[in-house]
Amino acid sequence: MGDRRPPDQVEDSRNRRAEVMRLRRTGMTYEAIGKQLGITKQAVHRLYKATLAEIPVEAVETYRAEQMERLDALLVKANEVLERHHITVSNGRVVTLDGKPLQDAGPLLDAIKTVLDIETRRAKLLGLDTPVKQQIQTDQTITYAFEGVDLNNLR
């Protein structure tokens, strides 16, 4: 059974969904997209998920490959920051300790966090962090206490 909305509403819906997808691909957050389109963050998320569900598997693989390339490029940039020598500067002057420039750990730590964020996104994209079913066995005994019940009447 087809869509019963007027054709212009159907077209508006398609255009909005396409715009949500386009903006998400640029890296915008759901909240930012919602502000731009005049809808809630939750509505953006629903539109995004519904549109993703309708995408053929081949298109999903293409999208995943695009995202992987983007993550690879970001990782290269983050690694460049990791490899640089960072010195501490205060009030326009290099801070020294025993006559040697003091290392600034801030950019290094920020780059490490960025690398971890990229790797987390990569793991999600590839489904590497899916929950693992676990079975736990114990030797513990559980005792129940019933107040106000005569257990002899239950037999």
- pLDDT score, position 116: 95
Residue 47 domain flag: yes
Residue 83 domain flag: yes
40 and 25 together in one domain: yes
- Residue-wise pLDDT tens digits, 62-87: 888 999 999 999 999 999 999 999 99
DSSP for 29-60? -HHHHHHHHTS-HHHHHHHHHHHHHHS-HHHH
- Taking the CA of residue 67 as centre, how many other CA atoms within 13 Å lie in the half-sphere pointing to its CB? 18
Instruction: Measure the CA–CA gap between 53 and 21, rounded to whole angstroms.
Output: 12
3 and 60 together in one domain: no
- pLDDT score, position 12: 64
User: For residue 10, is pLDDT > 80?
Assistant: no
Dihedral pair phi/psi, residue 79, rounded to 5°: -65, -30
Instruction: Measure the CA–CA gap between 53 and 143, rounded to whole angstroms.
Output: 48
pTM attached to this predicted model: 0.51
116 and 63 together in one domain: yes
- Residue-wise pLDDT tens digits, 117-147: 999 999 988 888 777 677 777 777 777 776 7
Name residue, tokens 């993703």: 52
Instruction: Name the token pair of 3.
Output: 């869509």
Residue 21 domain flag: yes
Residue 65 domain flag: yes
Instruction: Measure the CA–CA gap between 99 and 101, rounded to whole angstroms.
Output: 7
User: Please, which residues have CB within 8 angstroms of residue 34's CB and are 6 or more apart in sequence?
Assistant: 40, 41, 43, 44
- Amino acid identity, position 136: I
Q: List beta partners, residue 96.
A: 101
